[in-house]
């Protein structure tokens, strides 16, 4: 059974008790009345020149970046940081949050660090190359400094659209379910948008929530060998949007429930042979033409949505963190599935604590989790949420592999066999999040 633990609000890093303990001044703050939202943004490229070869990367196709959004209302601050990496370890997250706190004064509890989840990036951790880690830290510091200096009043707005770039990556092969691209499979084409506009209507920050892994170039090699670093679809989309609006606009790709969602065309595609063996076919550098096309296609939809957004009241401004308890299963991370199967024995073992963070900005809420939810779980949460705009973001404040839906476990998919969570945990987590959203909405306003 799911349950929430350590339920509390965090404002400037101070834990609060029940509503009855709130001061009149703070109650007015929560009400969303008579206060103004400010925002600042920053973007900085990660300079890796002179550090190649790095892992299996021999060079760079396009730069990785860090993007920082700083928000302030009534003296309280929040921050969102997006780093172009596959995932982030806890020790690196602590270091990044420390930099944010030093530069901007925002607390670790009020900061979320998101990986954009490109697979064409090196892995970084505190025991890795000091020069590589320093390159990312320098970029975070630079972007945070820009965010502080650009802090100004903004008007939020929300919008929604559709993009058909993504498909379900699970295919029903004769030997069992495996990775590929299934046009008939379940997918979530929804594009959610929050725009923070300056007094003259110029978008300062554009937040994009889309349930597709930014993985056009995943595992692709050059024709002569070696891989090229790339921010992939997340980077291509954000750069396209930023170039369209010009100086001062920073776009943030907040990857949604994309555990089973990939671009419908990839440079290196999976193949399942008749005997059940698997392979990949790589078109090498030609894949970057796909990347540019997809970045423009998703970017055009983002721009269409952003141009039609109407301003909304800023309203309530708060952060809530809690943990959900779900059943777990044994999964050795170093022994990932290598091909399709017709049967699999899930080894359920105890429970896991699943951290959840929620940022409420008026009638919008951003829900952040570590594991990669299946798309159907994100759609269900969004549909049942009482808020006008609900982002469900994965790869937030860490990574925890996959949290698939029940169908994935029944099909013995790659995600289900690669998950540290037991069958049914995804639906339990989704219902717990929906319950918490409804409770959050019912709090004094």
* Position 29 confidence tier, pLDDT thresholds 50, 70, 90: very low
pLDDT of residue 185: 97
Tokens of 339: 């091909």
* Whole-number pLDDT of residue 334: 64
pLDDT at 445: 58
107-133, pLDDT tens digit by residue?
999 999 999 999 999 988 776 688 999
Residue 333: predicted pLDDT: 65
What's the average model confidence in pLDDT over 165-191?
97
CB hemisphere CA count around 48 (13 angstroms): 27
What is the distance between the alpha carbons of residues 444 and 165, in angstroms, rounded to a whole number? 40
Nearest to 242, CA basis, from 253, 258, 228, 232: 253
Q: Rounded mean pLDDT of 208-228?
A: 98
Mean pLDDT for 61-82 is: 97
What is the reported pLDDT for 2? 38
pLDDT tens, residue by residue, 130-152 = 899 999 999 999 999 999 999 99
- Provide mean pLDDT across the span 31-38: 66
- What are φ and ψ of residue 108, in 5° steps? -60, -40
Angle between helices 130-149 and 90-104 (to 10 degrees): 30
pTM exceeds cut of 0.85: yes
Q: What confidence score (pLDDT) does residue 128 get?
A: 67
Whether 97 has a pLDDT exceeding 90, the answer reads yes
> Residue 17 has what pLDDT?
28
- Tens-digit pLDDT profile for residues 391-439: 999 999 999 999 999 999 999 999 999 999 999 999 999 999 999 999 9
Give 151 or 14, the one with higher predicted confidence. 151
pLDDT of residue 28: 36
Neighbours of 239 (CB within 10 A): 18
Say if residue 134 is exposed, middle or buried (CB neighbours under 10 Å; 0-12, 13-18, 19+). exposed
CA separation for the pair 43, 21 (Å, rounded): 39
Q: Does 63 have pLDDT greater than 60?
A: yes
Band the pLDDT of 74: cuts 50, 70, 90. Answer: very high
The pLDDT confidence band at residue 206, using thresholds 50, 70 and 90, is very high
Residue with the bigger pLDDT between 4 and 312: it is: 312
Check pLDDT > 70 for residue 31: no
Share of the chain above pLDDT 70, in %: 91
- Average of per-residue pLDDT values in the chain: 91
Nearest partner of 61 among 270, 233, 272, judged by Cα:
233
Amino acid 21: pLDDT:
29
Give yes or no for a contact between 420 and 329, defined as CB atoms under 8 angstroms apart. Answer: yes
Contacts of 287 (CB under 8 A, 6+ apart): 216, 217, 220, 266, 267, 268
For residue 25, how many other CB atoms are within 10 A of its CB? 8
Band the pLDDT of 13: cuts 50, 70, 90.
very low
């Amino acid at each position: 059974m799911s349950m929430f633990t350590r339920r509390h609000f965090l404002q400037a890093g101070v834990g609060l008790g029940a509503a009855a303990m709130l001061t009149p001044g703070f109650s007015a703050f929560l009400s969303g009345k008579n206060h103004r939202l400010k925002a600042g943004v920053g973007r900085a490229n990660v300079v890796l020149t002179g550090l190649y070869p790095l892992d299996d990367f021999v060079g760079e196709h396009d730069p990785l970046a860090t993007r920082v959004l700083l928000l302030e209302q009534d003296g309280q601050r929040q921050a969102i940081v997006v780093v172009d990496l596959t995932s982030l370890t806890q020790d690196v997250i602590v270091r990044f949050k420390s930099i944010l706190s030093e530069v901007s004064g925002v607390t670790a509890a009020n900061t979320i660090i998101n990986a954009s989840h490109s697979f064409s990036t090196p892995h970084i951790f505190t025991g890795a190359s000091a020069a590589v880690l320093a390159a990312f830290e320098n970029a975070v510091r630079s972007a945070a400094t820009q965010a502080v200096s650009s802090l100004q009043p903004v008007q939020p707005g929300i919008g929604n659209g559709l993009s058909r770039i993504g498909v379900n990556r699970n295919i029903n092969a004769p030997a069992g379910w495996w990775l590929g691209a299934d046009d008939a499979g379940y997918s979530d084409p929804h594009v959610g948008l929050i725009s923070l506009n300056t007094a003259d209507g110029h978008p300062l920050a554009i937040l994009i929530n889309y349930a597709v892994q930014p993985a056009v170039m995943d595992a692709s090699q050059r024709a002569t060998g070696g891989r090229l670093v790339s921010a992939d679809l997340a980077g291509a989309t954000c750069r396209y949007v930023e170039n369209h609006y010009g100086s001062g606009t920073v776009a943030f790709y907040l990857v949604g429930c994309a555990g089973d969602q990939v671009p419908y065309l990839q440079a290196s595609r999976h193949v399942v042979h008749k005997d059940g063996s698997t392979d990949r076919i790589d078109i090498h550098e030609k894949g970057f033409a796909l990347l540019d096309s997809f970045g423009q296609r998703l970017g055009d939809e983002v721009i269409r949505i952003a141009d039609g957004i109407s301003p909304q009241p800023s309203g309530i401004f708060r952060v809530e963190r809690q943990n959900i308890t779900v059943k777990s299963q044994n999964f050795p991370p170093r022994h990932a599935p290598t091909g399709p199967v017709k049967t699999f024995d899930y080894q359920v073992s105890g429970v896991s604590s699943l951290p959840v963070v929620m940022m409420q900005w008026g009638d919008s809420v951003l829900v952040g989790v570590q594991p990669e939810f299946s798309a159907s779980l994100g759609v269900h949460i969004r549909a049942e949420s009482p808020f006008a705009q609900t982002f469900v973001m994965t790869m937030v404040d860490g990574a925890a592999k996959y949290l698939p839906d029940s169908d994935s476990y029944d099909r013995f998919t790659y995600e289900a066999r690669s998950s540290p969570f037991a069958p049914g945990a995804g639906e339990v987590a989704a219902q717990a999040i929906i319950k918490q959203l409804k409770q959050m909405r019912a709090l004094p306003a």
